[in-house]
C-alpha cells in the first residue's frame, strides 16, 4: 500500500470518479424510486390517479411549499431551523392583499414589497440568533408568533379578495399544463442546488454546519453567511406567499399555519440532516413531491383526514430510517 505506483493511483482515481458519478445518481435514484413506487401504488388503487388532471394539479399545488423547503434546506444545512416560515408567508399574502385590493397597487409594485418585508423578518431572525448566540429554534419560534400577529394587524384579520390580477401566476399556461408559479419553483430548485454545490456561499454554508469552530479558526467570518441564509429563507416565504395568494385569488392572514412542519418534513425526507452540514436541494424537491403525491393520492382513494395524517407521519419516519440505514451502510462499505 505504501508503494503505490502511479498507474495504480490513476486507475483508482478513475474508478472513484466513475463511482462518484454513480453514487450521486444513486443518491437521487433512491428518492425517485420511492416517488415512482408511490405513484404506482396509487395508480393501482385509483383509476383516476394516473391522469393529466391529477398530475398537473399536484404540480400546481406545490410551488409554495417547494420554494420554502429550498430556503429551509439552507437553514438546516448551516445547523439552524426556521419555524417562522408559515407566518412569514402569511405576512407576504396579507401585504399583497392590502396593497392590491385596498390601495390599488399594481402587482409589479406589490411583489417587491412582499419579498422585502419577508426578507426583513428573515434577516431579523438571522441577526438575533447569530449575533446574540440564541438558538434559531427559539428566535424563529418567537418570529412565528410575531409575524402571524403582524399579518392579522395588516389585514385587520380579514381575508382580501384580489382576483384576476394575481390569478394568472398560479393558473396553468395554456397548452403547457404548468403554471408560472411551478416554473419559478423549478428555477428556484435548480438555482438552489447550483448555489449549494458550486458556489463559495454554498460551500461555506456546508462548512459552517459541519464545524463552526473549524470555520472560525480557518479565518472565515461565518456570521454574514448565516444571516444571509435566514434572510433568503424569508425571501422564499415572500415568494411562496405570492404563489399561494395567486392560487387562491385571495389573501388570507390564516394562510399556511403549520407549514413549517411540512417544509422540515420535505427536507428530512430528502436526507437533509437536522444537525447541519448535509443536505441537497434536489432531494428536498423530491421530498416535496413525495408529500404532495401522498396527500393527493390518499385523498383520491378516499382516505379520511386522520388516516392521511397517520400515513404521512409514518412515511416521514420511514424515510429517515431508510436514510440512516443507507448512511450506515455507506460508512461500513468504506
Partner 1 sequence: MNLSPAPICLSLKGISKDYAVRVLNHVDFELRAGEIHALLGANGAGKSTLCKIIAGLTPATAGEMFCDDTVYSPSDKQQAEARGIQIVQQELNLIPTLSIAENLFLTQLPLRFGVIARKQLREQARNVLLRFGMDDLDVDRETGSLGIGQQQMIEIATSLNRECKVLILDEPTAALSGKESEQLFEWLAELRQQGAGIIYVSHRLDEIKRIANRTTILRDGCHVGTFAVDDLSTDEMVSLMTGEERETKPAIKKKHLDVNNQTENQAKQNGIALRVESLHCGPLVKNISFSVRSGECFGIAGLVGSGRTELLRAIFGADHAESGELFLNNNRGPFRFKHPHHAVRHGIAMVTEDRKKSGLLLSQSIRVNSSLCNLNAYTNAAGIINQTEERTDTTRMRQKLDLRCNDIEQNVETLSGGNQQKVVVAKWLLAGADVYLFDEPTRGIDVAAREKIHRIFTTLTNQGKGIVIISSDLDELFETCDRIGVMSAGKLVATFSREAWSTDLIMQAAFSGYIDPSEE
326 binds partner 1 (CB under 8 A): no
End-to-end CA distance of the chain: 16
215 binds partner 1 (CB under 8 A): yes
Q: Could you tell me which of 238, 233, 226 has the C-alpha nearest to residue 192?
A: 233
Task: Please identify which residue in 104, 133, 175, 219 interacts with partner 1, judged by CB under 8 A.
Answer: 219
213 binds partner 1 (CB under 8 A): yes
Count CB neighbours of 238 within 10 A: 29
1 binds partner 1 (CB under 8 A): yes
5's grid cell? 505506483
Which helix or strand (DSSP H or E) is residue 328 part of? helix 305-333
- Cβ partners under 8 Å of residue 165, min gap 6: 100, 106, 107
Q: Which span sits near partner 1 by CB under 8 A: 8-16, 67-75, 253-261, 313-321?
A: 8-16
Q: Could you tell me which of 235, 237, 202, 216 has the C-alpha nearest to residue 78?
A: 202
Decide: 93 and 245 in contact? Cβ < 8 Å. yes
Residue closer to partner 1 (CB basis): 33 or 327: 327
Site for partner 1 in 150-209 (CB under 8 A): 198-201, 203-204, 206-207
Minimum CB separation of residue 206 from partner 1 in Å reads 7
Residue closer to partner 1 (CB basis): 133 or 219: 219
277 binds partner 1 (CB under 8 A): yes
Q: Could you tell me which of 270, 226, 206 has the C-alpha nearest to residue 77?
A: 206
Minimum CB separation of residue 198 from partner 1 in Å reads 5
Q: Which residues bind partner 1 (CB under 8 A)?
A: 1-2, 12-13, 16, 20, 198-201, 203-204, 206-207, 210-211, 213-221, 277-278, 332-334
Amino acid at each position: 500500500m505504501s508503494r503505490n505506483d502511479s498507474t495504480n493511483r490513476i486507475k483508482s482515481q478513475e474508478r472513484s470518479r466513475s463511482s462518484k458519478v454513480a453514487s450521486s445518481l444513486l443518491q437521487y435514484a433512491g428518492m425517485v424510486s420511492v416517488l415512482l413506487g408511490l405513484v404506482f401504488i396509487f395508480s393501482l388503487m385509483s383509476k383516476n390517479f394516473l391522469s393529466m388532471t391529477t398530475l398537473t394539479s399536484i404540480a400546481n399545488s406545490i410551488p409554495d411549499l417547494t420554494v420554502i423547503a429550498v430556503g429551509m434546506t439552507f437553514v438546516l444545512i448551516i445547523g439552524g431551523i426556521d419555524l417562522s416560515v408559515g407566518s412569514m408567508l402569511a405576512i407576504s399574502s396579507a401585504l399583497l392583499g392590502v396593497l392590491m385590493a385596498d390601495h390599488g397597487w399594481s402587482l409589479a409594485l406589490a411583489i417587491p414589497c412582499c419579498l422585502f418585508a419577508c426578507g426583513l423578518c428573515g434577516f431579523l431572525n438571522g441577526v438575533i440568533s447569530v449575533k446574540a448566540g440564541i438558538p434559531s429554534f427559539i428566535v424563529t419560534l418567537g418570529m412565528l408568533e410575531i409575524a402571524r400577529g403582524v399579518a392579522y394587524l395588516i389585514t385587520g384579520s380579514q381575508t382580501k379578495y384580489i382576483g384576476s390580477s394575481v390569478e394568472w401566476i398560479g393558473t396553468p399556461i395554456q397548452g403547457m399544463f404548468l403554471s408560472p408559479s411551478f416554473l419559478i419553483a423549478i428555477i428556484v430548485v435548480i438555482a438552489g442546488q447550483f448555489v449549494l454545490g458550486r458556489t463559495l456561499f454554498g460551500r461555506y454554508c456546508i462548512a459552517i454546519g459541519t464545524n463552526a469552530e473549524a470555520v472560525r479558526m480557518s479565518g472565515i467570518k461565518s456570521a454574514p453567511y448565516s444571516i444571509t441564509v435566514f434572510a433568503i429563507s424569508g425571501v422564499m416565504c415572500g415568494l411562496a406567499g405570492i404563489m399561494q395568494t395567486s392560487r387562491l385569488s385571495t389573501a388570507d392572514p390564516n394562510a399556511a399555519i403549520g407549514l413549517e412542519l411540512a417544509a422540515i418534513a420535505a427536507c428530512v425526507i430528502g436526507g437533509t440532516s437536522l444537525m447541519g452540514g448535509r443536505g441537497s436541494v434536489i432531494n428536498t424537491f423530491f421530498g416535496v413531491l413525495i408529500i404532495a403525491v401522498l396527500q393527493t393520492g390518499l385523498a383520491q382513494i378516499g382516505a379520511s383526514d386522520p388516516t392521511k395524517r397517520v400515513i404521512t407521519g409514518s412515511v416521514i419516519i420511514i424515510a429517515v430510517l431508510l436514510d440512516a440505514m443507507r448512511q450506515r451502510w455507506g460508512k461500513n462499505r468504506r
